[in-house]
Amino acid sequence: MPTLHVGIVGHGLVGKELVSQLLTSAARLERELGVHVEIAGVARSQKMVLLPPGGGDKALLDGAWPKQEVVADLEALGQHVVAAAELSGGKALIVDNTASDQPVEHYSSWLRSGASVVTPNKRAGSGPLARYEEIMASARSGGSQFLYEATVGAGLPVLGPLQVLRNAGDEIRRVEGIFSGTLSYIFNTWTRDRKFSEVVAEAKEKGFTEPDPRDDLSGTDVQRKVTILARELGLKLELDDVPVHSLVPGALQHWQPAAGENLGEAFLQELGKHDEEMAAMLAEAEGRGMTLRFVGEVDVGAGTASVKLAEFPSDHPFATTQFADNMVAFHSKWYTPRPLVVQGPGAGAAVTAAGIFGNIYEIAKGMKSSAH
């Protein structure tokens, strides 16, 4: 039975959830695909563990961290995983669960060595265009795969349906969507009888926002997702080519808390000073019978992408979202005038890990096909 040797970079919420999903699904993968999945190594920010073939990974399921840890070295991790695959005649895979640029710098060498890469990390797909193109070329030259479904929709399938439509001969003309579960929650919850800062504070309490809510309100996360989508559709855009309507008031964009203050809590206090101007914006939209939503858009014909706060009539699909749902609409030659719509939860460790797992399953399924 062929073995898929997996190296995992990042062992936080998503990484631990993924390890759990991988190990609890191992028997099913063997039964359905005839492929054995084995974790060959796990790297955290400072330390890593390189596991011997055929042993050690089960301890990770109980949250145990094996004692034979060494200083983290991502190039050495890749070499270890590839060597294990060469020894068994199987395949090597590296999963990057981080949001850091550091692992991305290793993608090309991993891919050229024959190790596939799966990631929810948006920095490869939205970082410098030259690096992105080098990563894609490295995957082709190494006969490996670079899969990144979870970068745009987390567990919500966005890139997969897009690729299916294009491979089948459809012509994608425009893609627009609500790509932030955090901002979806805020705009689904915010009403004229509630203060904007109060709703943002509630989102923070629920764990939806980053420690600094400006990271969400700035729209940078959506900007990265839209850049990835644009490149997927053939547009050669840099991140800075995508204009963003930031929801952070101008006076707070470079604001810093006083010494000793909690950044998140102090920011929410400052944000409260701008509740009136936000309320006026909401009232104006509702006065026109419109609903506010924070959306990203790629216009293939125009060769542009953007991220903005937009108004939609009450019968528009975006106006019907609930809680923290993401929603993406594909406008194409086949899907017109009504678009193909994908909707569902797009945030959280479990659904993100599920999106990653889907790509891992795809690689394992390819091993089954090549074995026959």
Kindly list the catalytic residues: 225
Smallest Cα–Cα separation from 184: which of 221, 149, 228?
Answer: 221
Q: How many of the other CB atoms lie within 10 Å of CB of 366?
A: 16
Smallest Cα–Cα separation from 49: which of 6, 97, 93?
Answer: 6
Burial class (CB in 10 A: 0-12, 13-18, 19+), 156: buried
Three-class SS state of 238: coil
Dist. CA 283–CA 276, nearest whole Å: 10
Q: Which residue reads 């955290």 in tokens?
A: 44
Report whether 146 contacts 264 (CB < 8 A). Answer: no
Report whether 118 contacts 100 (CB < 8 A). Answer: no
Report whether 348 contacts 362 (CB < 8 A). Answer: no
Query: Who's near 372: CB < 8 A, 6+ residues apart?
Result: none
Dist. CA 364–CA 225, nearest whole Å: 26
Query: What type of residue is 109?
Result: S
- Side-chain half-sphere exposure of 69, counting CA atoms within 13 A: 13
CA 192, 193, 195, 200 dihedral sign is negative
Distances (CA, A) of 163 to 115, 246, 330, 371: 22, 30, 12, 25
Q: Copy the structure tokens of residue 241.
A: 């080519």
Report whether 216 contacts 244 (CB < 8 A). Answer: no
